[in-house]
Structure 1
Amino acid sequence: MIHETAQIHPSAVVEDGVVIGANVVVGPFTYIASNAKIGQGTEIMSHVVIKGPTIIGKDNHIFPFAIIGEDCQDKKYQGENTRLVVGDRNVIRESVQMHRGTTQDKGMTLVGNDNLFCVNVHIAHDCIIGDNIIIGNNATLAGHVKIEDYAVLSALSPVHQFCTIGAHSFIGGASVVVQDVPPYIMAQGNHCKPFGINIEGLKRRGFKKLEIRAIRIAYKEIYRSGKTISEVKPILENMAKEYPSIALFTRLIESSTRGIIR
């Protein structure tokens, strides 16, 4: 179950049944429970705890004192066989915590690819994390939170249960997120409020001028027109026929259970 090219420090504790892929490195005093699977090329540094059932993909880098796949902190959890699934090429810095899911949701916490989790980030049960996301030091996600691709959640920012942070959005430091954050926008504060479009982020990711202009128009319809969300929604749906990026607005509005920040 352990590939012959894996490098495991003699002081590490790796239980029987662990699956470890090619060229994995396991540092000193790390503990990996029997129901964990580690993909090829992943580096696990010292004093890491990996429990499970947990699947970790390829080429991840896990720094000291991270705790991956631990039992969740939901009082309803009674030891059910839930999972954590982590994708590829993630950087998981010191003391990050990622907990498994609960049976009250899909039974799984899911982390995508190419993400950066800075020091002491907490990913609670049943969260869904997309790709190319940055979460700053000491930011904390409560249960059932969803963060979409390319979002940035800055340091010291907590996110309330069942909230969604939309794709390409930027949340400033020490913000308190208690409602859904639409895609593309910049937001900050306690409670978090919108402050325009994340223009520089969109430019870096190759958005064209006309697409950015359409996103700015959609933002004004939502936040500056004085219209209700039900009045704005058909306008956004019509815009999305010409500019597909606008569909991210309508999708989040339709799925929102907590409402969007205002």
Structure 2
Amino acid sequence: MLMSPQARVARNSVVEPGVVLGAHVNIGPFCIISTGVVIGEGTVVGAYSVINGRTIIGRDNTIGQSSSIGEINQDLKYENESTCVVIGDRNHFGKNVTIHRGTIQGLSCTTIGNDNRLLNNVHIGHDCVVGNGTLVGGHSGLAGHVRLDDGAQVGFMCAIHQFCVLGAHAKIVDQSGVVQDVPPFVMAGGNHAKPAGINVNALAFLALDFEQQDFVLSLYSMLYQQSLSIDEVKVAVKALFSDYAIATVFERFWEHSARGIVR
């Protein structure tokens, strides 16, 4: 075990050989930290939590009690291959959060960026990619291979189907089931989720100038009010790419979207 002298581990927790703990890491009571885990400076791990596998956690994260990170995934094809979980900085995880390691059939890694907030009882399935500044409400789950782009919000008690993509600053309202992709800035809700306008309260939308906001609104109109095909909308985005910086989030969304969009 490589443990900074400034790290603190509760006397009744188990930290196995090979674990790396940075300065000011705080491991609460009755935790199990297994060989292969790296925890960065200032991260706090709540009581009764288990972190195992090849799991790398960055700086200044807060992990709520009874959480499980790096556990074997629920993919029946998984045969204990060396896959991983990588978590960035300044994330806040509530109680009973579960994050599963990736699969070699997928990305081999489940990835979470920076400044995300996962509330109590959230599940992040294998091979998910969570960007920066996202919010996932309590008792919600992301199935395997889900992509959550920067600033996306998922409400309470939501289920996101495997391989779905939620675009940047999209918003899923409480108690929704999402089975197709949700474009950037789009609000969607229901079971199955349907589009319900633009997330005009997103901080990223409010920060745009009028012309950029109008561009986002016009794309929503193309997708849902003008009966244009997705390919036609993609052409329109490419034509305006140099004029509107916000077009980059739509380009990124189309690169990964494969399930069709919510209708």
The TM-score normalised by the length of structure 1 is: 0.97
Match of 1:94, SS state, is coil
Distance 2:74 2:204 in 1: 39
Q: Percent identity?
A: 42
Asked if 2 retains the 8 angstrom alpha-carbon contact of 1:186 and 1:198, the reply is yes
Q: Deviations over 1:7-50 (max 9, x none)?
A: 11100110111100001101100110011000000011110100
Distance 2:85 2:126 in 1: 9
Distance 1:238 1:43 in 2: 47
Which residue matches 1:125?
A: 126
Instruction: Quote how far apart the aligned CAs of 1:185 are.
Output: 1.1
Match of 2:3, SS state, is coil
Which residue matches 1:55?
A: 56
Distance 1:230 1:128 in 2: 25
Distance 2:230 2:255 in 1: 10
- Equivalent runs, 1:158-169 vs 2, <5 Å: 158-169=159-170
Asked if 2 retains the 8 angstrom alpha-carbon contact of 1:71 and 1:100, the reply is yes
Which residue matches 2:16?
A: 15
The TM-score normalised by the length of structure 2 is: 0.97
Distance 1:17 1:202 in 2: 42
Cα 1:258–1:204, aligned 2, differ >3 Å: closer, same or farther? closer
Distance 1:250 1:23 in 2: 40
Instruction: Quote how far apart the aligned CAs of 1:241 are.
Output: 2.3
Distance 2:253 2:63 in 1: 32
Cα 1:49–1:254, aligned 2, differ >3 Å: closer, same or farther? closer
Which residue matches 1:174?
A: 175
Distance 1:194 1:182 in 2: 9
Q: How many residues align?
A: 262
Asked if 2 retains the 8 angstrom alpha-carbon contact of 1:160 and 1:178, the reply is yes
Distance 1:71 1:203 in 2: 36
Instruction: Quote how far apart the aligned CAs of 1:85 are.
Output: 0.4
Match of 1:216, SS state, is helix
Is 1:244 the counterpart of 2:245? The answer is yes
Mean Cα deviation higher: 153-162 or 225-234? 225-234
Which residue matches 2:194?
A: 193
Instruction: Quote how far apart the aligned CAs of 1:254 are.
Output: 4.2
Distance 2:110 2:255 in 1: 23
- Equivalent runs, 1:69-84 vs 2, <5 Å: 69-84=70-85
Which residue matches 2:254?
A: 253
Paired letter, 1:243: Y
Instruction: Quote how far apart the aligned CAs of 1:228 are.
Output: 1.5
Distance 2:179 2:123 in 1: 16
Asked if 1 retains the 8 angstrom alpha-carbon contact of 2:14 and 2:31, the reply is yes
Which residue matches 2:146?
A: 145
Which residue matches 1:87?
A: 88
Is 1:66 the counterpart of 2:67? The answer is yes
Distance 2:222 2:248 in 1: 14
Is 1:136 the counterpart of 2:127? The answer is no
Match of 2:17, SS state, is coil
Paired letter, 1:173: D
Which residue matches 2:30?
A: 29
Instruction: Quote how far apart the aligned CAs of 1:253 are.
Output: 2.9
Cα 1:22–1:188, aligned 2, differ >3 Å: closer, same or farther? same
Asked if 1 retains the 8 angstrom alpha-carbon contact of 2:200 and 2:206, the reply is no
Paired letter, 1:37: V
Distance 1:258 1:142 in 2: 14
Cα 1:18–1:254, aligned 2, differ >3 Å: closer, same or farther? closer
